[in-house]
């Protein structure tokens, strides 16, 4: 599984952090997404897909 985030699209909703806090974080100055790991373990697949689905800006792409 590979995760790609687009910081330009991101609107800092933080819902990816709520869905998968081991994979996503927010940068301190404006809350824009920070990817903690590009290749999260399979055990987090459901959470990562949830994060991508709730991102209002469609800024997260997951390649299985």
Partner 1 sequence: MARAAGCPFDPPPKLRELQEEAPLTKVEVFGQTAWMVTRYDDQRRLIGDPRVSSDVYKPGYPAGNRILPRQDDDTGIGFILMDDPEHARMRRMVTAPFMIKRVEAMRPQVQQIVDDLIDELLAGPKPVDLVQAFALPIPSLVICQLLGVPYEDHDFFQKNSSILLRTSASIEERTKARGNIGGYLHELMGDKLENPKDDLLSGLAERVKAGELSRKDAAGIGVLLLIAGHETTANMIALGTLALLEHPDQLAKLRDTDDPKLISSAVEELLRYLTITHQGRRRAILADIEFDGQILKAGEGLIFPNDIANRDPEMFEDPDALDITRDARRHIAFGFGVHQCLGQPLARMELQVVYGTLYRRIPTLRRAVELDEIPFKHDGGVYGVYNLPVTW
Smallest distance, Å, CB 47 to partner 1? Answer: 11
**How far is the C-alpha of 48 from the C-alpha of 46, rounded, in Å?**
6
> Using CB under 8 A, which residues numbered 4 to 23 contact partner 1?
11-15, 17-19
> Using CB under 8 A, which residues numbered 41 to 60 contact partner 1?
50, 53-54, 56-58
Burial class (CB in 10 A: 0-12, 13-18, 19+), 8: exposed
**How far is the C-alpha of 56 from the C-alpha of 43, rounded, in Å?**
24
Binding site for partner 1 (CB under 8 A): 11-15, 17-19, 26, 28-32, 50, 53-54, 56-58
């Amino acid at each position: 599984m590979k995760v790609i985030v687009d910081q330009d699209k991101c609107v800092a909703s933080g819902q990816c952090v709520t869905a998968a806090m081991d994979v996503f974080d927010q940068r301190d100055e404006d809350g824009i997404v920070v990817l903690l790991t590009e290749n999260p373990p399979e055990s987090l697949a459901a959470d990562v897909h949830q994060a991508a689905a709730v991102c209002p800006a469609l800024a997260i792409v997951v390649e299985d």
